[in-house]
Amino acid sequence: MKLLEDKIREVGRVLPGDVLKVDTFLNHQVDPKLMAEMGKEFAKLFANDDITRIVTVESSGIAPAVMAGLYMDVPVVFARKHKSLTLTDDVYTSEVFSYTKQTSNQISIDKRFIKENDKLLIIDDFLANGQAVQGLLDIAKQANVDVNGIGIVIEKTYQKGHDLIAETGIHLESLAEIKSLEDGKVTFVND
Amino acid sequence: MKLLEDKIREVGRVLPGDVLKVDTFLNHQVDPKLMAEMGKEFAKLFANDDITRIVTVESSGIAPAVMAGLYMDVPVVFARKHKSLTLTDDVYTSEVFSYTKQTSNQISIDKRFIKENDKLLIIDDFLANGQAVQGLLDIAKQANVDVNGIGIVIEKTYQKGHDLIAETGIHLESLAEIKSLEDGKVTFVND
């Protein structure tokens, strides 16, 4: 998605440790018009996947997921993150390890918000090691529903998340595919 | 806002301890079309307040704030919540006590995302004791910028948040004003 790639080129900051900071428009300050364009793009890319519901993880997934939900006319559910959770029968939970923060979180979704026969679209802001997506796939498995699509805002194609998803055969679309952050420079697959 | 009041009447659940659960459409599952209508309504209500930027707190404020930002054509910043924060010169921080969870969090906003001469609109999902709003007002004060509006999705008018804001003289608008949750029944100011 050219609009997004241009924005990343313009304001994205590459920091030591293979970090791309996009807090100017995505995960701290948010550019609502860009989010809306991203939502339209997701709606187009997953138009033939019979999606009935979008799931994401708080907080940075919420803005793109809600915009996608608006243009696809489906409800959105954001999984809650917890340091630790008192398990109850009311929620699906999964463990998500964050490589960036080197901590583990539990994510949970209330069982009322995934229905039998749902066809889920997972949306997230970043795909790197794929831990958040795997947590949501795990929850979908517990709920015994299909995941028909995975929509990512920014993918680091050289990390292991891409292959993990490829193995599942699920329709994956990333709006910006990054090939490298070497020498402090963002290189896209399209470049 | 009738659409929102109808939705609360339809699916809101009143729980012991003066709790109104709206996780079916606002703070766990999200109804994107309703969020968009709320965004339009906020844009109309604050059309004359010269707003340059919206601030909210993760996670439940994000969806309504981003929709308001879309229709007002201004950037949105969501404050991050932390258990405790290593203070740096780069962020504004404030302490927010949650009566619901009986815990204290720090919220923070990167100094790059509030500019000189900004006229802020604070948006949040609930107004009860007003702690989150006060934290954002505190951050605005540190940044030495004006807060020209406070937009709330659901206000419990009988709790102290309303009076705290009234004392500041800031333009307050709540899309649904609740007068009472007594006997497990939602009564609106408009009823």
Q: Beta strand pairing status for A119-127 and A53-57?
A: parallel
How much is the mean pLDDT over chain A?
96
pLDDT tens across the length of chain B (191 residues): 999 999 999 999 999 999 999 999 999 999 999 999 999 999 999 999 999 999 999 999 999 999 999 999 999 999 999 877 776 789 999 999 988 778 899 999 999 999 999 999 999 999 999 999 999 999 999 999 999 999 999 999 999 999 999 999 999 999 999 999 999 999 999 99
Given an 8 Å threshold on Cβ–Cβ distance, is A58 in contact with B63? no
Which residues of chain B have a Cβ shorter than 8 Å from any chain A Cβ?
A: 23-24, 28-33, 35-36, 58-59, 62-63, 65-67, 69-70, 73-78, 80, 109-110, 112-113
Q: What is the DSSP string of B42-108?
A: HHHHTTTTT--EEEEETTTTHHHHHHHHHHHT--EEEEEEESS----TTEEEEEEEETTTTEEEEEE
For A85-111, what is the mean pLDDT? 88
CA angle B17, A79, A153 (to 5 degrees): 145
**Residue A6 vs residues A65, A180, A187, A188, B99: alpha-carbon distances, Å:** 21, 16, 12, 11, 43
- Tracing tokens 């020209």 back to the chain, one arrives at B148
Mutate to test the interface with B, among A21, A70, A105, A115 (most CBs of B within 10 A): A70
Burial B155-180 (b: 16+ CB within 10 A, else e): bbbbbebbebbeeeebbbbbbbbbeb
Given an 8 Å threshold on Cβ–Cβ distance, is A59 in contact with B67? no
Distance from CA of B41 to the nearest CA of A (A): 16
Nearest residue, CB atoms, A66 vs list B28, B30, B80: B30
Nearest residue, CB atoms, B62 vs list A63, A75, A110: A63
Helices and strands per DSSP (H, E), number in chain B: 5, 11
Contacts of B65 in chain A (CB under 8 A): 30
Contacts of A67 in chain B (CB under 8 A): 32, 66
Burial A43-68 (b: 16+ CB within 10 A, else e): bebbeebebbbbbbbbbbbbbbbbbb
pLDDT over threshold 90, residue A101? no
CB atoms within 10 A of CB A161: 25
For A108-129, what is the mean pLDDT? 97
d(CA B58, CA B22): 16
Report how many domains make up chain A: 1
pLDDT over threshold 90, residue A94? yes
- What per-residue confidence (pLDDT) applies to A84? 73
CB of B56 closer than 8 Å to CB of B123: yes
- What per-residue confidence (pLDDT) applies to A55? 98
Given an 8 Å threshold on Cβ–Cβ distance, is A75 in contact with B28? no
Phi, psi for A51 (deg, rounded to 5): -65, 135
Note whether residue A189 is domain-resident. no
- What per-residue confidence (pLDDT) applies to A88? 75
Given an 8 Å threshold on Cβ–Cβ distance, is A28 in contact with B80? yes
Q: What is the DSSP string of A5-22?
A: HHHHHHH-EEETTTEEE-
Query: What domain range is B43 assigned to?
Result: 2-188
Q: What's the CATH code of the domain at A41? A: 3.40.50.2020
CB of B129 closer than 8 Å to CB of B74: no
- What per-residue confidence (pLDDT) applies to A42? 98
- What per-residue confidence (pLDDT) applies to B99? 81
CB atoms within 10 A of CB A83: 9
- What per-residue confidence (pLDDT) applies to A165? 97
Mutate to test the interface with A, among B31, B78, B84 (most CBs of A within 10 A): B78
* Nearest Cα to Cα of residue B124 among B16, B37, B42, B3: B42
d(CA A24, CA A7): 10
d(CA B98, CA A179): 43
Given an 8 Å threshold on Cβ–Cβ distance, is B33 in contact with A110? no
- What per-residue confidence (pLDDT) applies to B115? 96
* Nearest Cα to Cα of residue B123 among B24, B13, B43: B43
Contacting residues for B13 by C-beta, under 8 A, at least 6 apart: B20, B21
- What per-residue confidence (pLDDT) applies to A86? 72
- What per-residue confidence (pLDDT) applies to A100? 76
- What per-residue confidence (pLDDT) applies to B84? 73
**Residue B187 vs residues B154, B182, B184: alpha-carbon distances, Å:** 12, 8, 10
d(CA A105, CA A79): 11
d(CA A65, CA A76): 7
CB of A87 closer than 8 Å to CB of A93: yes
pLDDT over threshold 90, residue A121? yes
pLDDT over threshold 80, residue A54? yes
d(CA A25, CA B1): 30
Q: Which residues of A are annotated as a binding site?
A: 20, 27, 128-132, 156
- What per-residue confidence (pLDDT) applies to B102? 87
Nearest residue, CB atoms, A59 vs list B31, B59, B74: B59
